[in-house]
Amino acid sequence: MEILKRKIPIFILMLVFILSVLAMVPGFLFAAQEDEAVEDEGEATTEEEVIEPEPETLTFDINYSEVNAYGIIGERFEFKVNVTLDAPEEQYFEIEKEIPPGWSIVVNPGSLRVDVPTLKLKPGKKESLTIICRPLIEQEPGEYIFKLTLKSTEEGEPLQESVEFKALVKSVGVLSLTTSSEMLNTEVRPDRDNIYTLIIENTGTAPVEDISISTPQEPEGWQVEFEDNIDILQVGEKLEIETNIIPPNRTIAGDYNIRFLVTSGEDTDFLDLRTIVVTPLIWRILGIALIAFVIAGIAVVFERLGRR
């Protein structure tokens, strides 16, 4: 009994201590929540202070990036592109060009037809560019890359972007029609065969097939005969074509024109031949004799009239 009496005060003290501790826990928890809230608010404020502005950008919208042509001297390869500046203020840009050897390039802004070294861009406004490339020499078939770079003239780290265009030079057969004598005139006689030689050459970069020859322009009543059409003409190959020109009988002596035309599915060429009709020697002799007879007759008449 005495032992129980001694333990009661100790038990009461322990109970009081536990209740005190439990009463203090909500305060600690509330204080911790307030500290976390303050820390979160501080972090949010710090994040707001270090927010950086949106980066400036230059966007290309290409309309024509590849062009097919034959790469002959002066031929036009035209590309089109739109460029848009995303920035707070307008800027000037230098235009830098990279082109293959043997080519020229010009950059035309908007509807202007002048080559410009710099370009003024306004924020959000689309600017159209026309890029025109031309071969200065005959270009071999293949791909040719052109690079255009816009570089801001602003100080610091200038904004710059590049865009590329591709010219595809195709193989093509090119017909050339000439004569064996390199002269564009010949003499012919009426009502007989007059052989004249033409030369057809393929000066292109690809074979030419199904070649035909015709005379869309010739004097009325004349006959111009050819050999059969040509199936194929290889690159650099030359062929001699004999033509037979037959003027009709009693064709008056003089100059006549015949146009020769050579065509294929890819190319065409022509030449105009000055054809001189000459009369046979016998007719010349007869003509001279007739003139002499007339002159002699006139002389006899005048002599007789003079005697009277």
Domain ranges of the chain: 57-169, 175-282
CA proximity to 75, closest of 181, 168, 187 = 168
CA proximity to 259, closest of 221, 224, 209 = 224
Q: Are strands 66-69 and 160-169 parallel, antiparallel or unpaired?
A: parallel
Average pLDDT, the chain: 84
Residue 23 — pLDDT band, cuts 50, 70, 90? low
Q: Do domains 57-169 and 175-282 have the same CATH topology?
A: yes
pLDDT attached to residue 164: 95
In CATH, what number does 175-282 get?
A: 2.60.40.10
Residue 119 near residue 163, CB atoms below 8 Å: no
Question: Which carries the bigger pLDDT value, residue 31 or residue 20?
Answer: 20
Q: Which of 40-54, 217-231, 250-264 has the highest mean pLDDT?
A: 250-264
**Lowest mean pLDDT: which of 38-42, 132-136, 281-285?**
38-42
* Predicted confidence (pLDDT) per residue in 83-130, tens digit: 999 999 999 999 999 999 999 999 999 888 889 999 999 999 999 999
In CATH, what number does 57-169 get?
A: 2.60.40.10
Mark residue 234 as left, alpha or beta (left: phi above 0; alpha: psi -120 to 50; beta: remaining). Answer: beta
pLDDT attached to residue 300: 67
pTM for this model (two decimals): 0.57
* Predicted confidence (pLDDT) per residue in 179-205, tens digit: 988 889 999 999 999 999 999 999 888
